[in-house]
Amino acid sequence: MSKSVDNLEKIRKSLSRRNRAEKRFRLYGVTAVLIGLAAVMLLFTDIVSKGHGAFRIAYLQLDITYDQDLIGIDNLTDPQQLALGNWQAMPKVALRNQFPDVSGRKDKRSLYGLVSNGAGFDLKDRLLENPLLLGDSETLWVLADDDIDTYYKSWLDGEPYDARLTAKQVAWIHELHDQGKLRLQFNSNLFTRGDSREPEQAGIRGAVMGSLLTLILTLLLSFPIGVSAAIYLEEFAPKNAWTDFIEVNINNLAAVPSIIFGLLGLAIFINFFHVPRSVPIVGGLVLTLMTLPTIIITSRAAIKSVPPSIREAALGMGASKYQMVLHHVLPLALPGMLTGAIIGMAQALGESAPLLMIGMVAFIVDIPGGFSDPATVLPVQIFLWADSPERAFIEKTSAAIMVLLSFLIIMNTSAVWLRKRLERRW
Amino acid sequence: MQATNILFLILGLGCFAFYLGRGRSLAIAKPLGGVRHLHSLPSYYGFHAALWCALPSLFLLSLWMIFDDLLINSMVMDALPAASAPADSASYNLLLNKIANLADGILPRSGESAALVSAADQMLNYRVVSRWSLTALILTLSLVGMAWGWSRTAPLFRARPVVEAVAEKSLLACACLAIFTTLGIVLSVLFESIQFFRSVPAFDFIFGLDWSPQTAIREDQVGSSGSFGAVPLFVGTLLVSAVAMVVAVPIGLMSAIFLAEYANKTVRSYAKPALEVLAGIPTVVYGFFAALTVAPFLRDLGEGFGLSVSSESALAAGGVMGVMIIPFISSLADDVITAVPQSMRDGSLAMGATKSETVRRVIIPAALPGIVGGIMLAVSRAIGETMIVVMAAGMAAKLTANPLDSVTTVTVQIVTLLTGDQEFDSPKTLAAFALGLMLFTVTLLLNIFALHIVKKYREQYE
């Protein structure tokens, strides 16, 4: 009797300790979840705070004269003249007129450094669109150099970064700002241009097009093949060693590091089949092989979720096995398959490591127009920009990441929406 | 005609054949008293004709595409006069490229020797001949096939089994693509690796302590041999992965336990997808985050404590990689924890155990094989992860176990060795494939083992 009382006493004493342990354990769990969520928040705020500035860029207001003699051109239809024209002279002269008391080679050079060295070509394009402007003059907003842009934004934010500017340049910037001749405008270059070595002229259009072309090819190849493979494995495959082997292969491929697929692409597609480097075709092929396991696995799950009664009913009505699959199982499993395809595409869109191997890391200015044009893709563009030393590229990189993430968010939410909307409970 | 045009031609003819075959079966059925007197539905006769029309042509087209260039190239090179014939395989390829560029008009023809120009002309000639003969052959083959398929259409002809057999074969082919992919991976890394191990002994590669693959151009330069001892890379990879696991395993596991056992439905329905967002973020974004935010932060923090932290520390790369792996571990662990039968929980709680005691003493031991399998999959993920380490870890191969130092990994070296211009036969590029072979073998073993454990565990409770 006394023993059980003792035990009861022991248990009572230990209870508070055990309850404390319980609370601590629970706290660990909450902390773990909160750390995970904090990581998500931190990542997004970091990217957005670094990248939001890139959507606006500094422009200078200059009085541009389209002076024939200055450019060295009298005929706007002569390609030779157009190629040799001294276009950059226009913004230079405009700057000299703006600051007439600047003299000396060094000072002049730093004055010219205020505008982007692509500004002349922008003026050329404007002139070609409006040939009547030749010989005329107008007041125009001209793209500023990236160092000016960086300084101006950091100054507006209250922590000026002037490491790459001379004192005179800073003074000019403030003078222009006070006159209202320097301002931030929407950075349309970011969305309309290809890559460039100059941060202020660099855009993601080329990379987005490259990603789009690569993804189209990936989808066209991997969805039919993946669905066919899933149908075979779920509906037709006999239970034998060969089928098991296929299954083991698929499961393993799903976990093979993506860079290995790059090695495969390099050795087989490029060196053996001589597919050209850097083109969306080879990127699409590699990504197809990479996303196939995902698509096969999700498609199989979708086929599995179709109840057997439907199959039996179809067979009972005299349908052949093919008709049963094609007319009944496939339409019912399609929403699940589409969800899987979207998830696979999202995975392919974010992938960069295998594409580095097959040359999609090249510096490509032109915007690709077809499957066999050299191209790069958005994640690789991010990688390239992240590697660039110019400070303005940090902002650009973050902006490109924001664009990439928004594509991914759209794809993933549409997958969730599709699943919710079309999923049937049996 | 271009290959794509020929492809479209074949597909167009196939559609036409479908129309013809179907039409003929309908026409045959009409006097008999309707479609029910045919063995198969009319569309099957159509498919039958279409298959006969398109399949042989497609087969021929693909064969032609593979052998076309090879044949033309060797014919052009054989026809070269002996004086300009190349001596070895390297100059053979160089010359071939030059001729091809001349033929395509990429290189200007002026100033080239007459033999090369005529070879280029000949190449163009052969190409034209090849294209036209291909077009003619395909056209004939398609039409003959179409006619054959069309002529076989008869009430008693069993078209459906034929079509379905072909369909099943093509489904099987799609499924076998997974095997071919694996085979392709194995062959591509294996062949290049064998070539590599011919110049660098395998023993030196696996156990060597010095990694500096920069083979010099001149023979007499310092370090012209290049040394390929991969141990520093293996150590670096393990160090980064270990840091990642230290971050990911506790957080992933605890959040899985919390979400599966403690959280109510609302919390779970929001927190779980929010955590999985981490899994959907591209690795290049993590790399950027690690290189530009975490690494400088850690360096400044280290300075505050008087520690010297490298700006490309293993800690930054591994830590961010760990964050990336959290959802991977938490969702796998969540699966195995929820698979533990409710009766075990009930039993433990009924004996007076608290919830945490139930988790620690009953659920975790029961779920352990699954959890271990999940962690192994995560390790294989960490070892093969590329972009984070390429962007945030260093290039210099150092043999160190200090996470504050900079290390390099297997994947980083594969990328550095293979990006940019390269000749394919140098040990430098081949070394990348040898590293790839190592990576593939290790991750494959980890995966097979882990999948085996997970599968076995699942069967246990099913």
- What is the ipTM, given to two decimal places? 0.91
Q: Is B148 exposed, middle or buried (0-12, 13-18, 19+ CB in 10 A)?
A: middle
The distance of B119 to chain A (nearest Cα, Å) reads: 21
Is residue A358 within 8 A of residue A278, CB to CB? The reply is yes
Interface check for B294 against chain A (CB to CB < 8 A): the answer is no
Residues A183 and A209 occupy one common structural domain: no
Residues A65 and A210 occupy one common structural domain: no
Mean pLDDT of B369-374: 90
Residue partners of A177: CB distance under 8 A and separation at least 6 = A152
Of all residues in chain A, the one with the smallest CA distance to B273 is A37
The per-residue pLDDT of chain B, averaged, comes to 87
Number of Cα atoms under 13 Å in the Cβ half of residue A190: 24
Q: Is residue A147 part of a domain?
A: yes
Is residue A254 within 8 A of residue B441, CB to CB? The reply is no
Query: For residue A65, what is the DSSP state?
Result: E
Interface check for B355 against chain A (CB to CB < 8 A): the answer is yes
As a whole number of angstroms, the distance between CA B202 and CA B190 comes to: 13
Residues B261 and B374 occupy one common structural domain: yes
Residue partners of B315: CB distance under 8 A and separation at least 6 = B243, B298, B309, B403, B404
As a whole number of angstroms, the distance between CA A360 and CA A262 comes to: 11
- Give the tokens for residue A174: 């403030």
Residues B286 and B405 occupy one common structural domain: yes
- The one-letter code for the residue type at A362 is A
Interface check for B439 against chain A (CB to CB < 8 A): the answer is yes
As a whole number of angstroms, the distance between CA A380 and CA A376 comes to: 7
Helices B3-32, B114-151: crossing angle, 10 deg rounding: 10
Mean pLDDT of B323-329: 94
Q: Tell me which residue in A32, A231, A232 faces B255 most closely, judged by beta carbons.
A: A32
The distance of B91 to chain A (nearest Cα, Å) reads: 17
Residues A378 and A231 occupy one common structural domain: yes
Q: Is there a contact between A28 and B254 if contact means CB atoms under 8 Å apart? A: yes
Q: Is there a contact between B356 and A394 if contact means CB atoms under 8 Å apart? A: no
Q: Could you say which of A194, A225, A259 is where a domain stops?
A: A194
Q: A65 pairs with which residues across the strands?
A: A137
As a whole number of angstroms, the distance between CA A170 and CA A240 comes to: 76
Q: Is there a contact between B175 and A404 if contact means CB atoms under 8 Å apart? A: no
Give residue for tokens 């992938």.
A351
Q: Name which of A11, A33, A274, A371 to mutate to probe chain B: the one with the most chain B Cβ atoms within 10 A of its Cβ.
A: A33
Residues A273 and A399 occupy one common structural domain: yes
As a whole number of angstroms, the distance between CA B202 and CA A55 comes to: 52
Interface check for B167 against chain A (CB to CB < 8 A): the answer is yes
Residues A246 and A310 occupy one common structural domain: yes
Range of the domain at B390: 227-461
Interface check for B254 against chain A (CB to CB < 8 A): the answer is yes
- Low-confidence spans in chain A with pLDDT less than 50: none
pLDDT at B108: 77
Mean pLDDT of B31-37: 85
Helices A280-304, A241-255: crossing angle, 10 deg rounding: 120
Q: Is residue B354 part of a domain?
A: yes
pLDDT at A360: 83
Q: Which helix (H) or strand (E) holds B123?
A: helix B114-151
Residue partners of B446: CB distance under 8 A and separation at least 6 = B376, B377, B379, B380, B383
pLDDT at B307: 84
| pLDDT of B221 above 60 | no
The distance of A29 to chain B (nearest Cα, Å) reads: 5
Q: Is there a contact between A236 and B414 if contact means CB atoms under 8 Å apart? A: no
The distance of A55 to chain B (nearest Cα, Å) reads: 19
Q: Is there a contact between A256 and B185 if contact means CB atoms under 8 Å apart? A: yes
Is residue A408 within 8 A of residue A342, CB to CB? The reply is no
Q: Which of A90-104, A311-325, B46-60, B104-118 has the lowest mean pLDDT?
A: B104-118
Residues A390 and A332 occupy one common structural domain: yes
Q: Could you say which of A175, A194, A213 is where a domain stops?
A: A194
Is residue B204 within 8 A of residue B431, CB to CB? The reply is no
Q: B227 pairs with which residues across the strands?
A: B212
Range of the domain at A24: 2-52
The total domain count for chain B is: 2
3-state class (DSSP) for residue A59: strand
pLDDT in tens, B183-213: 999 998 998 899 889 888 888 888 888 888 7
Interface check for B281 against chain A (CB to CB < 8 A): the answer is yes
Number of Cα atoms under 13 Å in the Cβ half of residue B460: 15
Residues B152 and B238 occupy one common structural domain: no
| pLDDT of B383 above 60 | yes
Residues A162 and A287 occupy one common structural domain: no
The total domain count for chain A is: 3
Q: Is residue B134 part of a domain?
A: yes
Q: Which helix (H) or strand (E) holds A138?
A: strand A137-143
Interface check for A22 against chain B (CB to CB < 8 A): the answer is yes
| pLDDT of B282 above 70 | yes
Q: Name which of B288, B293, B361 to mutate to probe chain A: the one with the most chain A Cβ atoms within 10 A of its Cβ.
A: B288
Q: Could you say which of B157, B179, B209 is where a domain stops?
A: B157
Q: Name which of A239, A259, A288, A337 to mutate to probe chain B: the one with the most chain B Cβ atoms within 10 A of its Cβ.
A: A259
As a whole number of angstroms, the distance between CA A382 and CA A207 comes to: 9
The values of phi and psi at residue A77, to 5°, are -100, 0
| pLDDT of B215 above 60 | no
Rg (CA), chain A: 31
3-state class (DSSP) for residue B134: helix
